Amino acid sequence: MKIAILTPTFSYYSGIDRVVELQAQDYSRKGNQVTVFALESSLKPKGYKLEILGMPKNLFLQRLYRLFFFLDAYKIKNNAEKLKDYDIVISHFYPMNWIASYARKKYNVKYIYYNHGIGFSSLFGSIFEKIYMKLFGLFNKMSLKNADSAVSISKFMKSELKRETGMDSRVVYDKIDKARFRKGLDGSKIRKQLNIGSNKNLLLFVGRISPHKNVHTLLEIFDLVLEKLPNSKLLIIGKPTFHGYYKKLRTLANKNVIFKEFVDDKELPYYYAACDLYVTASLWEGFNLPAAEAQACGKKVVAFDVCSHPEVVMNGVLIKKDDNQAFAEAIIKLLK
């Protein structure tokens, strides 16, 4: 079969794109002709093709372009035409759904929507961000009207899709590359690079630096941890997607917090190996791939009991939402 997989940013920064990469490799190994279509990409295809459609380089313009992508009728029509000979088109995230939707309407290509979800607009800070996320959700809903079927990455996302659109979906949990993320890896090299001795506690968070990830609360929780365990460090790995929010975090962070905007994906498993505990205060997750990867590396996870976390966190502790004290106490107990 000829299979097209659509994603906006084919990059290691995105958990969605890591899922796309594994999916493309899996379909290709099974003898299918696979092409990934993306607006931009930093990943190199292995065993499948890649088509980059292009978009503005400026982050603000990029965000606007993606939101109002349906206005770029030429690009939608032109790339939908490329899909007319494909058997299946799988769209992983807005705004790529518009291309899949047009291909379904014009060329009767089977359109499967892969539901990773969209963060609650209420979790974002400024009025602009809230409006942006509301419009994002609205336009996403419009782009799904003629999808043949849908796949949700968790039971939580299945219920959200049903509530928002009335669409049914089947649940397929995100796959972990267990050849890479596994127990027994040596994280000592990473600790040495970070100048963190074996006598220090290392907490790790991996994810986009976005308000719904609630990193500011994680910093507050870490302050509570330091009162009892001053010999601790918090490493935050992630690309800032809201730069105003990122600047705020840098201001709030104490001297024991380390920010890394970029980590080579080949080294990421060793960062999990280097940490003593994986922590996330995120208030919205469709799945939470880093939490799953950390567990695959044998690390316990502390997270709020929200969204998909009851499905994903099997080795760790779930804390009642907004109970920062209980969150800190759980970290302290596990570290001790």
Other beta carbons within 10 Å of 170 = 9
Contact predicate 220/214, CB 8 Å: no
For 158-183, the pLDDT digits (tens) are 999 999 999 999 999 999 999 999 99
CA distance 34 to 36: 7
Contact predicate 94/1, CB 8 Å: no
Both structure tokens of 323: 């109970």
pTM of the model: 0.92
User: DSSP code of 240?
Assistant: B
Crossing angle for the helix pair 59-67 and 127-142, nearest 10 degrees? 40
Crossing angle for the helix pair 324-335 and 215-228, nearest 10 degrees? 50
Reply yes or no on whether the pLDDT at 265 is more than 90: no
Q: Compute the mean pLDDT over every residue in the chain, rounded to the nearest whole number.
A: 95
pLDDT at site 241: 82
CA distance 186 to 238: 22
Distances (CA, A) of 80 to 30, 70, 144, 148, 189: 25, 13, 15, 16, 47
Give the bridge partners for 232, in sequence order.
201
pLDDT at site 14: 85
Reply yes or no on whether the pLDDT at 53 is more than 90: yes
For 295-335, the pLDDT digits (tens) are 999 999 999 999 999 999 999 999 999 999 999 999 999 99
Only one residue has tokens 């080294």, namely 267
User: DSSP code of 119?
Assistant: -
CA distance 262 to 164: 34
Reply yes or no on whether the pLDDT at 267 is more than 90: yes
Reply yes or no on whether the pLDDT at 207 is more than 90: yes
pLDDT tier at 71, thresholds 50, 70, 90: very high
Backbone angles phi, psi at 85, to 5 degrees: -100, 5
Where do the domains of the chain lie, and which CATH numbers do they carry?
2-171 (3.40.50.2000), 188-335 (3.40.50.2000)
Backbone angles phi, psi at 90, to 5 degrees: -110, 115
